[in-house]
Amino acid sequence: MKNNLSKTEQEIYFNLGQGEIYDILTISGLVHLKKRTLLVLLARMNKKGWITRLKKGIYLVNAPNLKTLKDPFLAALNTFNGYLGFSSALYVYGAMDEYPSAIFVCTQRTSASKTLNKTIEVRAVALGKRATGAVSFKDYFVSSKSKTLYDSFYLPQHSGGYSNILAAIPRLDLSDDDWKTFLFYAQKFGKSGFCRKVGFLLELLNHVSDGAVPSDVLKGLNLGKQLVKLGNGRHGKFIKKWHIMDYIEEKDLMGKIYHG
């Protein structure tokens, strides 16, 4: 930090824990300053980089070297109103090992990005009517397993692409009820072409995962007949059962499963 703290700002800072998150009422109780005075001082400290204002009345205490952030997922949830989703949810559920390069928060209307401690990117993704299906898990507000899978197929780029999603499914350990709920989301929010693309991908997964996907789910996804494309390119393969032109080679779709 290049900007030094005043004596009163130091009193505030050293009463707080580095990497911790506080609301204005808690800070006020620790330092015993009038709220208006405290807000001015916190604004100055935010500008100097000693704290980060996540949203109105919520602050993250930065470390001098900007490397201390005790719980990035909790910080993300305090930055945007929503729930953890996509690759962040897959990581929280233990379905992927790679720490997300960005932490995704699903919201109803907000699409924005904010970097915490100059290292952690938090991205809010507006899902509109699809912003539903969240549960409490490990002290986080996170999309349920079935909704995580639906959201990942809906916006696969936020979960590392189809190969990463397919590799994560066996590790999600979805129950029969989870699969039924996933099918409900797919049919409710997805058009027939989307459902058939997902069905085709899940059937590919079944070929290498001992029938991880129930047959009634695959049947429920085979809706409509209008031709739909999976990927792009000049040379595709027509999949008659699913009425799909597949431009992505199976080795690329299943690469994460084959090679880890």
Domain shared by 78 and 57, yes or no: no
Domain shared by 175 and 147, yes or no: yes
Domain shared by 158 and 245, yes or no: yes
Domain shared by 29 and 149, yes or no: no
Rounded to two decimals, what is the model's pTM? 0.86
Helices and strands in the chain: count of H runs, count of E runs? 12, 12
Domain shared by 57 and 82, yes or no: no
Domain shared by 149 and 225, yes or no: yes
pLDDT tens, N- to C-terminus, the chain (260 residues)? 557 899 999 999 999 998 889 999 999 999 989 999 999 999 999 999 899 999 999 999 988 765 557 789 999 999 999 999 999 999 999 999 988 889 999 999 999 999 887 778 999 999 999 999 999 999 899 999 999 999 999 999 999 999 999 999 999 999 999 999 999 999 999 999 999 999 999 999 998 887 789 999 999 999 998 999 999 888 899 999 999 999 998 888 887 776 65
Domain shared by 96 and 135, yes or no: yes
Q: Is residue 30 part of a domain?
A: yes
- What is the structure's pLDDT at 137? 96
Domain shared by 183 and 238, yes or no: yes
Spell out the residues 6+ positions from residue 239 whose beta carbon is closer than 8 angstroms to its own: 200, 245, 246
Q: In which domain, by residue range, is 12 found?
A: 7-61
Q: Is residue 1 part of a domain?
A: no
Domain shared by 111 and 212, yes or no: yes
Q: Is residue 66 part of a domain?
A: no
Contact 160, 153 (CB under 8 A): no
Q: Is residue 2 part of a domain?
A: no
Query: Which of 16, 39, 61 delimits the end of a domain?
Result: 61
Query: Which of 61, 84, 100 delimits the end of a domain?
Result: 61
Query: Which of 61, 81, 107 delimits the end of a domain?
Result: 61
- What is the structure's pLDDT at 66? 59
Neighbours of 119 (CB within 10 A): 10
Domain shared by 97 and 197, yes or no: yes
Q: Is residue 51 part of a domain?
A: yes
Q: Is residue 130 part of a domain?
A: yes
Q: Is residue 78 part of a domain?
A: yes
Closest by CA to 116, choosing from 28, 42, 46, is 46
Reduced 3-state DSSP string for the chain? CCCCCCHHHHHHHCCCCCCCEEEHHHHHHHHCCCHHHHHHHHHHHHHHCCEEEEECCEEEECCCCCCCCCCHHHHHHCCCCCEECHHHHHHHCCCCCCCCCEEEEEECCCCEEEEECCCEEEEEEECHHHCCCEEEECCEEEECHHHHHHHHHHCHHHHCCHHHHHHHHHHHCCCHHHHHHHHHHHHHHCCHHHHHHHHHHHHHHHHHCCCCCCHHHHHHHCCCCCCEEECCCCCCEEEHHHCEEECCCHHHHCHHHHHC
CATH of the domain at 34: 1.10.10.10
- What is the structure's pLDDT at 258? 64
Domain shared by 100 and 210, yes or no: yes
- What is the structure's pLDDT at 130? 97
Domain shared by 38 and 134, yes or no: no
Tally of domains in the chain: 2
Q: Is residue 225 part of a domain?
A: yes
